[in-house]
Amino acid sequence: MERIVIIGGGFAGLRLCKKLDPSRYEICLVDRNNFNCFPPLFYQIASSGLTSANICFPFRREFKRHRNVSYHMGHVKNIDVAAREVTTSYETIKYDKLILAAGSTNNYFGMDSLAEETFGIKTVAEAAHTRDEILDRFERGALCQDKARRRELLTFLVVGGGPAGVEIAGALGEMKKYILKKEYPELEPDDITITLVEGTGSLLGAMRPQSQEYALKTLKKLMVNVRLNTVLKDYSDKYVNFADGQKEYYETLIWTAGVRGEPMPGLPQECVGHGNRVLVDEYNRVKGLDGSVFAVGDICLMQRPDHPKGDPQMAQPALQMANNLAKNLNRGEFRTPFRYRDKGSMATIGKAKAVADLPHFSFNGLFAWLVWMFIHLMSILGMRNKLSVLTNWTWNYLFYSTSLRLLLRPTRYPLRKHWGE
């Protein structure tokens, strides 16, 4: 029986574990985390709308129903394509076929120092850290007697006008407009500055103009300052330098401006293209190798005449790639090339405010928000998680209140060096 090693348990990796034929393959999933998570709702962790456990589900529990599938915790240290081995933090695993599904990470566009200076919402850990920092600023601002310093503490800059940026900015705007007067009576709305900057001329660049306009209008109603055609040059000592020469102070900078493929140590450099994405053919086979290595989802770049920049780095292309690759592998021959079918895109800006672009029409407002909620709710693993999320959403909708605004600082000791590997 052939062994397939899958690196990454996100949308594509988990789908492959479920779709590959267990009577034909032994399947090993490698991931640094022991759980699958739902990235579209990371912004709700960052804004205290949900807890991490609401949108995460343990691999081992999920795989109880799938024979011949095993989970291996570890961070990939090296891929030896000649020996067909993957070395992780803890072991070396032999493979007959290797599937890279590690997803993407933050792209700082050459400004690597931003990784240590800014906050993100690209992983569960990042989102939880960002939540703690946001709450820390609110608590410290409530205690600060110096009005000028209080206003400095409560300056938030969101960089990137895609769905993640719009959603976290909208969540912060709702905190400013609705939560502040109820839970932070020491603060005034004018004490808080929330700014969203986008380098292009519109928000939600992949969506239709009416959705872009609705998002812009809604964010302004939530007291978010939106600045288009504004590019960040660098960020140091809490000061942001913009490309137009302006220099401004922002205590908290949340980065959502772009992604790049997760680095895969040991993979030949000629296999890697723009944005650190692995080059693949129309069957998701990595170009330049012997046909035993594949890549799916955000990490891969499949260039076609109609998609010279590859498919979008979103959930739907990843799931469709996984389905297509599993079909080809299960029958033992590559007959079906991958073609992405765009089913539309959605984004939420706040309570009862969302935009939806379907293939033939667009809509926004309450109905779009309800559709957005239903689709996301059905996509979360675990019935208990679905019920928890639905309960939180219903309570927040009715009362604009949550018991999840908990500032949870991790303890420092004892140090665990392997956590950073």
Altogether, the residues listed in the chain come to a count of 421
Range 305-333 average pLDDT: 94
pLDDT of 200 > 90? The answer is yes
Which residues make beta-bridge pairs with 361? none
**In whole angstroms, what is the distance from residue 96 CA to residue 3 CA?**
5
Which residues is 120 bridged to in the sheet?
Answer: 255
Residues with Cβ within 8 Å of residue 7, at least 6 apart in sequence: 13, 30, 31, 76, 86, 98, 99, 100, 101, 102, 264
User: What's the CA gap between 295 and 279, in Å, rounded?
Assistant: 8
CB 259 within 8 A of CB 246: no
CB-based contacts of 105, cutoff 8 Å, min separation 6:
122, 259, 260, 261, 262, 263
The region of weakest confidence among 107-111, 117-121, 189-193, 396-400 is 396-400
- Indicate the pLDDT class of residue 419, thresholds 50, 70 and 90: low
The string of pLDDT tens digits covering residues 243-279 is 999 999 999 999 999 899 999 999 999 999 999 999 9
**Per-residue pLDDT at 163 exceeds 70:** yes
Amino acid residing at 318? A
**Predicted confidence band of residue 415 (pLDDT cuts 50, 70, 90):** confident
126 contact partners, CB below 8 Å, separation of at least 6: 42, 119, 120
Query: 224 pLDDT band (50/70/90 cuts)?
Result: very high
Q: Compute the distance between CA of residue 323 and CA of residue 359 in angstroms, rounded to an integer.
A: 21
Sign of CA dihedral 329, 5, 309, 120: positive
For the chain, domains (ranges, CATH) are 2-32+74-107+259-331 (3.50.50.60), 114-257+344-399 (3.50.50.100)
pLDDT-based confidence at residue 66 (cuts at 50, 70, 90) = confident
CA dist 34 and 58 (Å) reads: 6
Express as a percent the part of the chain with pLDDT over 70.
99
Q: What is the predicted pLDDT for the residue at 29? A: 98
Judge contact between 227 and 196, C-beta under 8 A: yes
Residue in the structure block whose two tokens are 């302006």: 246
CA 54, distance to chain mean position in Å, is 16
CB burial of 132-167 (b: ≥16 within 10 Å; e: otherwise) equals: bbbbebbeebbebeeeeebbbbbbbbbbbbbbbbbb
pLDDT score for 421:
57
Global pTM reads: 0.94
**Residue bearing tokens 């090339």:** 337
The dihedral region occupied by 144, where left means phi > 0, alpha psi between -120 and 50, and beta the remainder, is beta
* Mean pLDDT to the nearest integer, 58-69: 92
Torsion of CA 28, 29, 30, 34, to 10 degrees: -130
- Whether 355 shows a pLDDT value over 60: the answer reads yes
Name which of 359, 264, 281, 267 is nearest 321 in CA terms. 281
Residue with tokens 């000791």: 413
